[in-house]
C-alpha cells in the first residue's frame, strides 16, 4: 500500500478562503469595523520571527488588521504584562497572540494568564482549557483544531475510532485528545513514560504524533490503512522533518500528512479562524 498524502496547504487555503468571506461579511454587517489580531514577539529567535511574519501576512491577506509589537530579548515579565493589559483594553484588538517560547526570564504562565480569555486566540488560558475540558464553547488551540480539520477533510471516521495521540502538551496533545473525545473517538494519550509505545500505536485507526522526536514513528508502529497525522516540526541537518518516518510509514498507512506542508499551514489558518470567532463574539 502507498498512503494517500493529505495536502495541508490546500486544506489551509480552503480555511483561509472561508475566513476571508467571513471577514467581508463581518465588515459589511458592522459598518466597516474590521477584526484585528495583535502579535507579540519577545526577543529575536529566528524561527519565531518567521512564524510571526507569516501570521501577520496571512492576517492581512484575509482582510483583518494586524497589530505587531516587538519587545527586546531582556524584557522583564512586568513589561510584557503591561503590554498585554493594554491590548486587553484595546477595542480594535480581537485576538492576542504572544509568540512562544518566551525568553527564559519571562514568566510564561503569567503571560498566558494575563490574556483576556475572550481574546485568547491560541486557546491557552486556563479559562479556555477548562471550557474545552467540559465540552463547552470557547477558543481552542490552533494546532489541534487544524488536525481535526485535516482528519475531516481526509474523510477519517472519528466516531468510535481507536485514536492514539503521542504527546500531552497543553498546546497540542491534551487539547487534541479532548477534541477527539468530543468527536466520540476512543482516545489513548501516550507520553515519555508510556510502556511499549509501538504496540499501543499499532492499535490506532488514527495516529497523531506531537512529540518533537524526528522519525520516532516507524512502519512497525502503524496499523495497515491507518490515518497518520504528523505534528512534529524538527529542524535537522536534512531540513525540516516530522516525528514520523515518512518513507517507511507511507508503505503501511492509508493516509498521511507530510512535513512540511501538512499540519503547519493549518495552524495559522485556524489562528485566523479563531480571530474571526473572537471578533464575532465581541459585543457590538
Q: By CB under 6 A, name the binding residues for ligand NAP.
A: 143, 166-169, 171-173, 190-194, 197, 210-213, 216, 231-234, 263-264, 267
Question: Is 253 or 270 the residue whose CB approaches ligand NAP more closely?
Answer: 270
> Among 157, 170, 169, 168, which residue's Cα sits nearest to residue 125?
170
Q: How many Cα atoms are found within 13 Å in the side-chain-facing hemisphere of 49?
A: 8
Is 49 an active-site residue?
no
Question: Which grid cell sits at 47?
Answer: 524561527
Quote the cell numbers at residue 176. 487534541
Q: Between residues 48 and 234, which has the closer beta carbon with respect to ligand NAP?
A: 234
Paired residues of 71 in beta bridges: 42
45 belongs to the catalytic site = no
- How far is residue 195 from each of residues 86, 101, 198, 214, 224, measured CA to CA in Å? 47, 29, 9, 19, 22
Q: Residue 214: which H helix or E strand, with range?
A: none
Shortest gap between Cβ of 233 and ligand NAP (angstroms)?
Answer: 4
Strands 239-241 and 4-5: unpaired
Q: Smallest distance, Å, CB 82 to ligand NAP?
A: 27
116 part of the active site: no
CB-wise, 114 or 257, nearer to ligand NAP?
257
Residue among 58, 94, 120, 122 flagged as catalytic: 122
The Cα–Cα gap between 128 and 142 comes to: 12
Min. distance of Cβ 213 from ligand NAP in angstroms?
Answer: 5
Name the active-site residue from 99, 205, 230, 243.
99
Residue 26 or 246 with smaller CB distance to ligand NAP: 246
Cβ-based nearer residue to ligand NAP, 148 or 211? 211
> Residues near 101 by Cβ (< 8 Å), separated by ≥ 6?
45, 48, 108
H helix runs in the chain, sequence order: 8-29, 46-61, 77-89, 108-114, 126-133, 142-153, 173-182, 197-201, 246-250, 263-281
Out of 55, 119, 223, 277, the active site residue is: 55
- Residues classed as catalytic: 55, 99, 122
Amino acid at each position: 500500500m502507498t498512503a494517500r498524502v493529505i495536502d495541508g496547504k490546500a486544506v489551509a487555503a480552503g480555511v483561509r478562503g472561508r475566513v476571508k468571506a467571513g471577514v467581508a461579511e463581518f465588515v459589511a454587517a458592522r459598518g466597516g469595523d474590521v477584526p484585528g489580531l495583535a502579535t507579540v514577539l519577545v526577543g529575536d529567535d529566528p524561527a519565531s520571527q518567521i512564524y510571526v511574519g507569516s501570521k501577520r501576512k496571512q492576517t492581512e491577506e484575509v482582510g483583518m488588521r494586524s497589530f505587531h509589537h516587538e519587545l527586546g530579548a531582556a524584557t522583564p515579565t512586568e513589561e510584557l504584562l503591561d503590554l498585554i493589559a493594554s491590548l486587553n483594553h484595546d477595542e480594535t484588538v480581537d485576538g492576542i497572540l504572544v509568540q512562544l517560547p518566551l525568553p527564559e526570564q519571562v514568566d510564561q504562565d503569567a503571560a498566558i494568564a494575563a490574556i483576556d480569555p475572550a481574546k485568547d486566540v491560541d486557546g491557552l488560558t486556563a479559562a479556555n482549557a477548562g471550557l474545552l475540558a467540559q465540552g463547552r464553547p470557547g477558543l481552542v488551540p490552533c494546532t489541534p483544531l487544524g488536525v481535526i480539520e485535516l482528519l475531516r477533510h481526509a474523510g477519517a471516521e472519528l466516531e468510535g475510532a481507536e485514536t492514539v495521540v503521542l504527546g500531552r502538551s497543553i498546546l497540542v496533545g491534551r487539547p487534541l485528545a479532548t477534541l477527539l473525545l468530543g468527536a466520540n473517538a476512543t482516545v489513548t494519550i501516550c507520553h515519555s513514560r508510556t510502556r511499549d509505545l509501538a504496540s499501543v500505536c499499532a492499535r490506532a485507526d488514527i495516529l497523531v504524533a506531537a512529540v518533537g522526536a524526528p522519525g520516532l514513528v516507524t512502519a512497525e508502529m502503524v496499523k495497515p490503512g491507518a490515518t497518520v497525522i504528523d505534528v512534529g516540526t524538527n529542524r535537522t541537518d536534512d531540513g525540516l522533518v516530522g516525528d514520523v518516518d515518512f518513507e517507511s510509514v507511507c508503505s503501511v498507512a492509508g493516509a498521511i500528512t507530510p512535513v512540511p506542508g501538512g499540519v503547519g499551514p493549518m495552524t495559522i489558518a485556524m489562528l485566523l479562524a479563531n480571530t474571526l470567532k473572537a471578533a464575532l463574539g465581541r459585543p457590538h
